[in-house]
Structure 1
């Protein structure tokens, strides 16, 4: 077994999250030190995989797309991930050393990491989704499984609570898709269910056109509404987390959900704009997350609007 040069994976991961996600970085500060260290290490691997697959850095384009095809880049990520999980991180990006440390400390199943990489493979194939149920299957790979991994790092073993963590990942991803509809369409990526587009009488290429801002606003609303039962379900699992973790995750839930609500409120005016939360809104989310972490909440009830709530088959 070869060994990589010593890397301060904690410091590396902190730089990664600071650059890649202001929203999650704010919430992650609320974890206890040990949990935060491993949460951001796991984030660093996820961020690296996303960047390699998309030809970005820190979630942002840095120039021309890589010449290597996305399918080949994703295959490389799978090989490097397998090496790291086997304990061989020599010559790999520091994110893989961070991954190896977290996976070893928390006995994380390799299959879950491969489930996440499957999402990038779906993107590599240019997959589009006919229905919301099909889209939810994609959301499981790119976000739901990450919620499960994060919960495992927080010490969760209860399958019901892990299901709730998956639901939060699904809600986050539906919110992200709603926010990035126009930007994604400009790059040839369409995640909105194709059946919904036909109902609006528009083609995938129309999503980026200002002339169709009203239709895009309606589609965004549908995505945000689809996320609501998953946010409601996830909130029921937060009470089963350690208090500091409950504070951090409760804060993240409020920040991301707020983005969706702002999209709906903005309507057509959000077309071509990247909606985010401001400092005051994040502060309010931190206070709300703290209150939610210390008060008692009933657990085990079904989420609201159960007819709209379904977990993807995996």
Structure 2
């Protein structure tokens, strides 16, 4: 099999450019500074608790950017946790979080939404990027199979590439030419997570591997269920690993288009 990214790449570029070109500025959150500082501190605490690696990497950024990317992480983490660990009515809970987290002036008793709203305003992060992330997270509640890699790439864009696109606004970027690289890096990172977590995802009723490609390698869902490891499985996984490596390589030139302060932290 050959690796072809042209179809999904064009579609995802259109989504990203549409979000960027249809964004409108919002006013910074008007709050007592102590309340806002405390909100950012809580975002930092969430980042440190759930991702020590991200917390350390963000420490390489200047103070303001460091606080902002941790606010972004906390927003993403809260969104993920509602789907993965929320109560029975998770869709309702996610809709409520969507309204609160995208409000320009969230309630004062929601520190994560406060820090995130202030970050979006300060760094002019397009609202549609956040909406696309929430849509991607929500899709886990209604979709647990992917017919093709094109389908999977759109999922990866929603839950991962959007994070990179929003991060670009915080660390700075030289031109819109950086966008395709951010998209590919997000797809590569999410594909890596998928390949690492096949067994765990299967136990949770989810299979993110492209159905058509499993079939082309002679694999079935029964093979996944039985934990089969044979030459067909190894060949399939090697194909996916090669795809991820190709995406990482194609994304690498985009690092030089980021603001100088953010390059090392992202790389």
Q: Under TM normalisation by the shorter chain, which class is it? A: 0.7 to 0.9
Q: Kindly indicate whether residue 102 of structure 2 is the aligned counterpart of residue 72 of structure 1.
A: no
- For 2:71 and 2:30, locate their aligned partners in 1 and report how far apart those are by CA, in whole Å: 21
Partner of 2:205: 188
Contact kept? 1:164, 1:234, Cα under 8 Å: yes
TM-superposed deviation, 1:14: 1.9
2:35 alignment partner, SS class: coil
Higher RCO, 1 or 2 (CA under 8 Å, sep at least 6)?
A: 2
Q: Kindly indicate whether residue 108 of structure 2 is the aligned counterpart of residue 90 of structure 1.
A: yes
Contact kept? 1:185, 1:205, Cα under 8 Å: no
Q: Which of 115, 123, 128 is 1:111 aligned to?
A: 128
Q: Kindly indicate whether residue 45 of structure 2 is the aligned counterpart of residue 15 of structure 1.
A: yes
- For 1:24 and 1:180, locate their aligned partners in 2 and report how far apart those are by CA, in whole Å: 19
Contact kept? 1:147, 1:165, Cα under 8 Å: yes
Partner of 1:156: 173
Partner of 1:202: 219
Contact kept? 1:148, 1:163, Cα under 8 Å: no
1:53 alignment partner, SS class: helix
**Compared CA separation, residues 212 and 23, structure 1 to 2 (3 A):** same
Structure 1 unaligned spans of 5+ = 56-64, 251-314
Structure 2 unaligned spans of 5+ = 1-28
Partner of 1:297: none
1:128 alignment partner, SS class: coil
Contact kept? 2:129, 2:162, Cα under 8 Å: yes
What are the equivalent positions in structure 2 for 1:117-128 lying under 5 Å apart? Answer: 117-128=134-145
**Compared CA separation, residues 217 and 30, structure 1 to 2 (3 A):** farther
- For 1:101 and 1:44, locate their aligned partners in 2 and report how far apart those are by CA, in whole Å: 13
Provide the alpha-carbon RMSD of the alignment. Answer: 2.4
**Compared CA separation, residues 208 and 95, structure 1 to 2 (3 A):** farther
TM-superposed deviation, 1:155: 1.8
Partner of 1:137: 154
What are the equivalent positions in structure 2 for 1:269-284 lying under 5 Å apart? Answer: none
1:138 alignment partner, SS class: helix
Aligned length in residues: 237
TM-superposed deviation, 1:214: 5.7
TM-score (normalised: structure 2): 0.80
- For 1:211 and 1:41, locate their aligned partners in 2 and report how far apart those are by CA, in whole Å: 41
TM-superposed deviation, 1:107: 1.5
Q: Tell which deviates more after alignment, 173-182 or 196-205.
A: 196-205
TM-superposed deviation, 1:192: 0.4
Q: Provide Cα deviations, 1:246-271, integer angstroms capped at 9, x if missing partner.
A: 11111xxxxxxxxxxxxxxxxxxxxx
Contact kept? 2:69, 2:170, Cα under 8 Å: yes
Partner of 1:32: 62
Partner of 1:6: 35
Q: Provide Cα deviations, 1:23-65, integer angstroms capped at 9, x if missing partner.
A: 322322222222111111111100111111111xxxxxxxxx6
TM-superposed deviation, 1:205: 5.2
Q: Tell which deviates more after alignment, 136-145 or 220-229.
A: 220-229
2:166 alignment partner, SS class: helix
TM-superposed deviation, 1:144: 0.7
- For 2:230 and 2:76, locate their aligned partners in 1 and report how far apart those are by CA, in whole Å: 32
Contact kept? 1:2, 1:88, Cα under 8 Å: no
- For 2:44 and 2:94, locate their aligned partners in 1 and report how far apart those are by CA, in whole Å: 24
1:6 alignment partner, SS class: helix
